[in-house]
Amino acid sequence: MTLQVNKPRVEYFTNPIGIDAERPRFSWILASDAADQRQSAWQIRVASDPASLPDGTADLWDSGKVTSRDTAGIHYGGPLTGSGERVWWTVRVWNQDDEASDWIEPQYWETGLLDPLEWHAKWVMAPRLAPDAGIPETEELDGLLPAAYFRHTFNVEKPVRQARLYATCRGVYEPHLNGERLGDQVFAPGWTDYFRRIQYQTYDVTANIQQGTNAIGGIAGTGWFAGYVGWHKQCRMYGQSPQLLMQLHVDYEDGTRDIIVSDRDWQSTTGPIRYSDFQMGEYYDARREIPGWNTAGFDASSWGGVETAGLGYLPMYADSSEPVRAMESFAAVARTEPEPGTFVFDIGQNIAGWATLRAKGPAGTTITLRFAEILNPDGTIYTENLRDARVTDTFVLAGTGEEEVFTPRFTFHGFRYVEITGYPGTPDLDAVTATFVGSDTTPSGRFTCSDDLVNKLQQNIVYGQRGNFLSVPTDCPQRDERLGWLGDAQVFVGTASYNMDVAAFFTKWSRDMSDAQSPAGAYSNVAPRAVDSRDSAPAWADCGVIVPWTMWKKYGDTGIIEQQWDSMERWMAYWLKWNPNLLWQNKRGNDYGDWLSIGADTDKELIGTAYAAYDAKLMAQMAAATGREDRATWYRDLHSRIAQAFCDAYVSDDGLVKGDTQTSYCVALHFGLVPENMREKLADRLVADVRAKGTHLSTGFVGVSYLCHVLSATGHSDVAYELLHQETYPSWKYSILHGATTIWERWDGWTEHKGFQTPTMNSFNHYSLGSVGEWLFRSVAGIGQAEDSAGFVTIRIEPRFDDSLGFVEASYDSIRGPIATRWERAGGEIRLKVEIPANGDAEIVLPTGVELVGSGTHEFVIPV
């Protein structure tokens, strides 16, 4: 067998259920034990019965043999399937010698509810849900509502063929059926602009249905819908209280169907969760637990009814990205008692998530958990930087005589330290464990090298990403903010897509960006739009173009271009309308500039103009990739006109860019705004500035994401390496040497000379300054793609060797399969080993020249 088809996926998932793409896209990767293998053709068969695959009649679609090397983005070409239909598919491929692979085992996808008219369920709410008067903080913070419990019973009296639950919430929910919690999602249905779009989840509950009486229900919390979101104690942004919506389809063997929907027959109550809010925390009174509430035999006579609301015209969308899940757990590594009765647990890593507490004591014992990223010098927790987020959980023991365990449901915190007070006795070290909670995107990149601090940097970048990719890409997980900031996301998206497979995640969030776009066409600062601020800030608004472009480049996905095209065009038209002379002088909104740079303010009009030119360049490429030739030409022309305006306004003949900051050179060079013959002059000035600062960077969010790329691209990788290894402030290693386990928001979040930065804005888990991760993969490990390639069709291996590292080893699971490099210094030479996946073509760029290779393992020896 020469080629083997692996990782077959539909719309980025293996055997997904409940999708609503009309013509879902297939992808696979190829493996082979022979070198130099290429796919020359593929064939897909789709059938309603897996037994008829691969060789029987594919009743839905047989593509025939299609000559193509594509392995992703291949659209289903058969008749549209109906709602809730499962269809099966298989694929085989041919190699360059026309040898066919085996067909793969039949795979499937299943559609969700495609037609709005198929939704019969109603939103159910607990009537008069009000803050718990017995809890003091609910007086002060009126958004703190008890979680609502809902239930309903129904009968099943015939053999069941299959059952599906379609469910969602305005709030966050946990679905239950016959005594069991369904699925492992956390904070479903995720965050969208609930006024515009609701995501629903689909659960295969065939095995949960029982003959006779069944109990269905769920617990709903306020979440983003009605809880605290953003700053200034803003809550109830979309509605007053959580609302659950469930529709269960029970299909019987005899071909009939029962549909059970949430409606006015349902019952509701409240239970142990007296409130649970993302920012404020959870109050759990175990004395109020309701054992068996989700089972059929439960006596719910004391429960109240529900209020209902119709669906209206609200668009329902199938959840199409990875769910948020509770993932890795952390044992506490240390416990201290800085004040009598106050215990501080260190879990060794700054994370987003929650803590589980074990305790045994009398009924009514009230234990308080507070959370922090960092400690004060006296060992107490530092919480000033949390601003108005209370970040406090309370656990009231039921007094069962046994050990009781508390894990919150609808809150999360950004923390490394957990402070416990009110504990009965002295807690053991294992009384507290912590759990990471975030969007469960699949890791795709691994990077390690001979320098432990660089490895730590990579680890911190990954933790920063994991802690901040929670349904949407957020700025930080701890303070009263946690918003989908566009600027942060766009500077980091390149790095993010090396670390994890973020195709589905950013496809979803790109929709959120369009939802947040102003009617006039301006992209907002945050998506979903959640705080009031003036739109269209340079480097923030441009995210609307940069993120879809990055997804297309990384995953070869033209679908996201189609999805976002109109929105992106509206943005470009808006920009041009307000800036007809091609300098971004008007409508710069909140105009953050090179946010958090160090003593080097870059001219804001200059940054904006550079981004506008960049947008135009990316639009031209995306237009060309989707066959919009006239738009491609138009945007190419726009790019050169803006670039010309940029040069005329800000660049002198001697290579001086206005303001003479590192960032001004970075944007001019990285966005290709100056003529080829000027590049060296600009690069020299950039290097001179770095040197003048004692080989330190001065860049903020914007400049830092281009700095090392630009240095490498202009022949100054040595300087980039020196910045990477710089240990004194400001630098990446500085924070690591001072205990960072994630990327800090600010270079000077804490310094020896000044201590903590202002608590009004000082997060220790903000990924933006970690955007150097892309350079680690692309230039240190050398894993990238050719300039004009998308989806790693032409892999480009271009490691920038440097004396400071003895070896570098990295791999990246590209959409075309795993690419790996390892280089090592041995004696007077460097040995480079490269692995290219089957069907891959690669340019290996060495100091001695460029070599073209196909799939397989390749080794090179480079004298140094």
What positions carry a catalytic annotation? 481, 745
What is the smallest separation between the CB atom of 483 and ligand BGC, expressed in angstroms? 7
Distance CA 522, CA 567 (A): 9
Tokens standing for 698?
């001065």
Residues 6+ away with beta carbon under 8 Å from 161: 206, 251, 252, 253
Residue 743 CB, nearest distance to ligand BGC (Å)? 11
Residue closer to ligand BGC (CB basis): 537 or 645: 537
Euclidean distance between CA atoms 563 and 559, whole angstroms: 6
Residues 6+ apart with CB under 8 A from 105: 90
Residue 596 Cβ vs ligand BGC, minimum distance, rounded to whole Å = 8
Nearer to ligand BGC, 429 or 761 (CB): 761
From residue 300 to residue 339, the character string flagging contacts with ligand BGC as x (rule: CB under 6 A) and all else as - is: ----------------------------------------
Considering beta carbons, is residue 112 or 589 the nearer one to ligand BGC?
Answer: 589
Residue 433 φ/ψ, nearest 5 degrees: -130, 160
Nearest to 463 by CA among 349, 386, 595: 349
Q: Could you tell me which stretch among 412-420, 474-482, 808-816, 851-859 binds ligand BGC (CB under 6 A)?
A: 474-482
DSSP 403: -
Q: Is position 492 an interface residue for ligand BGC (rule: CB under 6 A)?
A: no
Task: For residue 380, give the 3-state DSSP assignment.
Answer: coil
Distances from the Cα of 360 to the Cα of 225, 395, 426, 428, 431, angstroms: 35, 11, 11, 12, 10
Cβ proximity to ligand BGC: between 156 and 761 the closer is 761
Instruction: Tell me how many residues contact ligand BGC (CB under 6 A).
Output: 10
To ligand BGC, the closest distance from the beta carbon of 540 in angstroms equals: 7
Q: Between 373 and 798, name the residue whose CB sits nearer to ligand BGC.
A: 373
Q: Are strands 841-846 and 794-797 parallel, antiparallel or unpaired?
A: parallel
- Residue 373 touching ligand BGC (CB under 6 A): no
Exactly one of 11, 346, 488, 774 binds ligand BGC (CB under 6 A); which one? 488
**193, 322, 404, 475: which one contacts ligand BGC (CB under 6 A)?**
475
| Residue placing its CB nearer to ligand BGC in the complex, 771 or 855 | 771
Q: Which residue is nearest to ligand BGC (CB)?
A: 475
Is the preceding omega at residue 159 within 30 degrees of 0, hence cis?
Answer: no
Which span sits near ligand BGC by CB under 6 A: 43-51, 350-358, 479-487, 516-524?
A: 479-487
- Rank residues 761 and 786 by Cβ distance to ligand BGC and give the closer one: 761
What 3-state DSSP class applies to 776?
helix
**Strand ranges for 609-764 from DSSP E:** 750-751, 755-756
SS3 572: helix
Within 13 Å, how many C-alpha atoms sit on residue 299's CB side?
2
Q: Specify the residue, 266 or 463, whose C-beta has the smaller distance to ligand BGC.
A: 463
Q: How far is the CB of 661 from ligand BGC (least distance, A)?
A: 18
Contact between 481 and ligand BGC per CB under 6 A:
yes
Work out how close the CB of 292 gets to ligand BGC at its nearest, in angstroms, rounded to a whole number.
44
CB-based contacts of 341, cutoff 8 Å, min separation 6: 421, 422, 423
Q: What is the side-by-side order of every strand in the sheet holding 783-785?
A: 783-785, 794-797, 841-846, 849-853
Shortest separation between residue 476's beta carbon and ligand BGC, angstroms:
6
φ, ψ of residue 719 to 5 degrees: the values are -70, -40
Residue partners of 342: CB distance under 8 A and separation at least 6: 380, 419, 420, 421
Structure tokens at 632: 């491609």
Q: Is 343 in the site for ligand BGC (CB under 6 A)?
A: no
Single out the residue of 610, 607, 612, 500 nearest to residue 551, CA to CA: 500
Residues 520, 567 contacting (CB under 8 angstroms): no
Least CB distance from residue 730 to ligand BGC, whole Å?
17
Stretch that binds ligand BGC, among 107-115, 473-481, 746-754, 830-838 (CB under 6 A): 473-481
Determine if 593 is a binding residue for ligand BGC (CB under 6 A).
Answer: no
* 487 binds ligand BGC per the rule CB under 6 A: yes
* Chain-centre distance for alpha carbon 120: 32
Among 293, 592, 614, 764, binds ligand BGC (CB under 6 A): 592
Q: How far is the CB of 391 from ligand BGC (least distance, A)?
A: 16
Place of tokens 């939802």: 515
Which of 173, 382, 485, 734 forms a contact with ligand BGC (CB under 6 A)?
485
**Complex with ligand BGC: residue 529 or 679, whichever CB lies closer:** 529
Which CB atom, from 677 or from 760, has the smaller least distance to ligand BGC? Answer: 760
Q: Using alpha carbons only, what angle is made at residue 181 by residues 175 and 182, rounded to the nearest 5 degrees?
A: 65
Residues in 88-107 that interact with ligand BGC by CB under 6 A:
none
Q: Which is nearer to ligand BGC, 506 or 555 (CB)?
A: 506
Other Cβ atoms less than 10 A from the Cβ of 263: the count is: 17
Three-state SS at 818 = strand
User: What sign results for the dihedral spanned by CA atoms 187, 191, 193, 197?
Assistant: negative
User: Residue 6 and residue 14: Cα distance in Å, rounded?
Assistant: 11
Closest CA to 83 of 21, 26, 135: 21
Q: Residues in the chain, how many?
A: 864
Rounded CA gap, 820 and 836, in Å? 7
> Binding string to ligand BGC for residues 816 to 835, with x set by CB under 6 A, is what?
--------------------
Q: Is 595 in the site for ligand BGC (CB under 6 A)?
A: yes
**Least distance from C-beta 474 to ligand BGC, angstroms?**
9
Q: Candidates 24-32, 481-489, 602-610, 661-669 — which segment interacts with ligand BGC by CB under 6 A?
A: 481-489
User: In sequence order, which residues have a C-beta less than 8 Å from that of residue 228 and are 6 or more positions away?
Assistant: 141, 143, 234, 235, 277, 278, 279, 280, 389, 480
110 vs 745, which CB is nearer to ligand BGC? 745
Question: Taking the complex as a whole, how short is the minimal distance between the CB of residue 406 and ligand BGC, in angstroms?
Answer: 30
Which span sits near ligand BGC by CB under 6 A: 241-249, 358-366, 482-490, 734-742? Answer: 482-490
Three-state DSSP state, 140: helix
Applying CB under 6 A, which part among 234-242, 245-253, 274-282, 480-488 lies near ligand BGC? 480-488
Provide the minimum distance between the beta carbon of 386 and ligand BGC in the complex, in angstroms, as a whole number: 13
Which of 707, 710, 703 shows the shortest CA–CA distance to 674?
A: 710
3-state secondary structure 208-270: HCCCEEEEEEEEEECHHHHCCCCCCCCCCCCCCCCEEEEEEEEEECCCCEEEEECCCCCEEEE
Name residues contacting ligand BGC, limited to 740-799 (CB under 6 A): 761, 766
The whole-angstrom separation of Cα 391 and Cα 533 is: 25
The stretch near ligand BGC (CB under 6 A) out of 386-394, 429-437, 475-483, 735-743 is 475-483
> Which residue, 581 or 758, has its beta carbon nearer to ligand BGC?
758
Rounded to the nearest whole angstrom, what is the least distance from the CB of residue 490 to ligand BGC in the complex? 10
User: Whose CA is closest to 589, among 643, 646, 524?
Assistant: 524
> Where does this chain bind ligand BGC (CB under 6 A)?
475-476, 481, 485, 487-488, 592, 595, 761, 766
